[in-house]
Amino acid sequence: MAVVNLFYISLLLILPPLFLLFLLSLIVRPRPVQIPIKKRHVFITGGSSGIGLALAHQAASEGAHVSILSRSIDKLEEAKNAIKLSTGIDVAIFAADVRDFEAVQRAVDEAGPIDVLIVNQGVFVAQELEEQKLDEVRFIIDVNLMGSFNMIKAALPGMKRSRKDRGPGSISLMSSQAGQVGIYGYTAYSASKFGLRGLAEALQQELIGDNIHVSLVFPPDTETPGLVEENKRKPQLTSIIASSSGAMKADEVAKKALEGIKSGSFIIPCNSEGILLSIATAGLSPQRSYLMAFVEVVAAGILRIAALCFQWNWYGSIEKWHKQKNCGVSRQSNLFFSIPLFCDAPCLNVMDKSSGTWKLLVRETGRHFSDVSWNACQGLRSC
């Protein structure tokens, strides 16, 4: 009797997940697809440096016919020579600003029909919206979002032409983990990257009948020349919150991105945090893998709790920072700041702009900390 009961209990435990897997295998859309790279035309924007250059290297090494587009002809020539040196393959180069539709259209017409389009260009400046100039906000949105519209609109007619004879096509958009969750100081950047998701979801429905498949890549901070510049202006709170996800190398991101593109994945995370973010923010986005859909369904509740814990931690950091700020940190002039005695912090950490490292100042017996040159400092925090 005990054995029979155990059998029924086991059956009850096993049958629901099996039924869910069977159901998901029937309903996930679009259907799985493989997108070859070898001997096909891969066109990459922002291809002269960073992730774009790494993607060009990888695609060329896998036998693709690669074209790269960027604003600077000098950087494009350098990229072309570097790819030739490492792979022995010549790539086509096109100088154009993605904000200029006519220039982009001329480049696409000259390049010829595209099989795999990787819309990778992007600019980023982290700053609170109150402090950021609207011209800078417009620049970020024009490059990241409108530039993507320009590139796709220019490439679509050629990508659709004779698609049945040429095999499946792909359009990949380089988003960011800041396009999955908003972060302090990322108002303009996150808006531009969240916009790519709406573009991608709607575009996939429009193009599925043409055998063109859309992907969204969500890299974390990536070690590129752009990241170095970005860190010079990044608010202290942005650094604190964003530090929970470590930086990746451009080659690592390119490898993950290309693997996802070839498998036709709609959402392509690049690290473990990215996988969790992708599951937590899956929502109504397409899913080709019924196994991944199963994970999304089962893990949804648990990851919502985890997400709330992250938000608790982030808002705790923000509250602590504002408390410190209101504790008496005051700029006395363009060059000096000090902290009054009533602030209970026994010491102060000061970030040196030139080295990017925190330096410790211990409170003196008098009323203030020793004055420190503000021009040499990027941020403050109590120790």
Higher pLDDT, 56 or 383: 56
Across 99-121, average pLDDT? 97
Q: Same domain for 52 and 172?
A: yes
Q: Are residues 186 and 271 in the same domain?
A: yes
Task: Say if 3 falls within a structural domain.
Answer: no
Q: Are 59 and 47 in contact (CB under 8 A)?
A: no
Are 280 and 248 in a shared domain? yes
Residues 203 and 341 in one domain: no
Higher pLDDT, 371 or 129: 129
Answer whether 248's CB lies under 8 Å from 221's CB.
yes
Model confidence pLDDT, tens digit, residues 65-82? 999 999 999 999 999 999
Phi, psi dihedrals of residue 51, rounded to the nearest 5°: -65, -40
Beta strands in the chain (DSSP E): 41-45, 65-70, 92-95, 116-119, 169-174, 212-218, 222-223, 248-249, 267-269, 330-331, 336-338, 347-352, 358-362, 372-373, 377-382
* Residue 356 pLDDT greater than 60, yes or no: no
Gyration radius of the chain over CA positions: 25
Question: Pairing relation of β-strands 65-70 and 92-95?
Answer: parallel
**Domain identity same for 337 and 223:** no
Q: Give the model's pLDDT for residue 327.
A: 59
**Would you state the structure tokens that stand for residue 80, as one six-digit string?**
């072309």
Residue 118 has pLDDT above 90, yes or no: yes
Q: To the nearest whole number, what is the mean pLDDT of the chain?
A: 85
**pLDDT score of 244 more than 70:** no
User: Do 105 and 69 share a structural domain?
Assistant: yes
Tens digits of per-residue pLDDT, 329-348?
A: 444 333 334 343 334 455 55
Query: What is the per-residue pLDDT for 167?
Result: 94
Question: Is 309 a member of any domain?
Answer: no
- Which range has highest mean pLDDT (2-6, 12-16, 240-244, 302-306)? 302-306
What per-residue confidence (pLDDT) applies to 16? 84
Give the pLDDT confidence score for residue 348 in this predicted structure. Answer: 54
Structure tokens at 135: 């011209």
> What pLDDT score was predicted for residue 76?
97
149 falls within a domain: yes
pLDDT at 377 over 60: no
Q: Which of 245, 241, 145 is nearest to 188 (CA)?
A: 145
Confidence of residue 163 (pLDDT cuts 50, 70, 90): confident
130 & 263 share domain: yes
Average pLDDT of the segment spanning 147-166:
94
Residues forming beta bridges with residue 267, ordered by sequence position: 216
One domain for residues 344 and 236: no
Total domains in the chain come to: 2
The pLDDT of residue 226 = 72
The average pLDDT across 179-200 equals: 96
pTM above 0.85, yes or no: no
Catalytic residues: 175, 189, 193
Give me the CATH number covering residue 236: 3.40.50.720
At 89, the amino acid letter reads I
Residue 151 in domain? yes
Residue with tokens 């993605």, as numbered in its chain: 98
To 5 degrees, how large is the angle CA 282–CA 286–CA 290? 85
Tokens 């504002």, located at residue: 322
pLDDT digits (tens, 9 = 90+) for 208-224: 999 999 999 999 989 88
Asked, for residue 95, whether it belongs to a domain, the answer is yes
Domain region containing 151: 41-304
Q: What pLDDT sits at residue 14?
A: 83
User: Shortest CA distance to 41 belongs to which of 155, 143, 145?
Assistant: 155
96 lies in the same domain as 225: yes
Would you say how long the chain is, in residues? 383
